[in-house]
Amino acid sequence: MSNEILDRVISVIAQTQRIPRERIQADSTFQELNIDSLDGINILFALENEFNINIPDDAAQKISTVRDMAEGVARLLTAGTEATAATTPNAP
């Protein structure tokens, strides 16, 4: 996972929850940040928009830290890149 992805995830959480960015660390739990399940859904929607991805419900339920969320986004971005490369015909 790149620092850029982690940084963008932290920014989305800070904006969505109106939490000072400096208060959010990679290993912060949602409980520590006072993020409940409804807040989590709002964050997921914001991340889907930010990264143009679709986060599966079953994957979202396993996320408990900011790092978990960033790693999940990174996996989805990698999977999307691989799927796009597999369906894009090679130029002659």
Q: Reply yes or no on domain 3-80 having CATH 1.10.1200.10.
A: yes
pTM higher than 0.95? no
> Are the beta carbons of 12 and 47 closer than 8 angstroms?
yes
User: Does the structure show a pLDDT above 80 at 89?
Assistant: no
pLDDT at 87: 47
47-59 pLDDT, tens per residue? Answer: 999 999 999 888 8
3-49 pLDDT, tens per residue? Answer: 999 999 999 999 999 999 999 999 999 999 999 989 999 999 999 99
Ranges of H-type helices in 1-92: 3-17, 37-51, 57-60, 66-87
* C-alpha separations of 65 from 26, 73, 76, 83, 87 in Å: 7, 13, 17, 27, 33
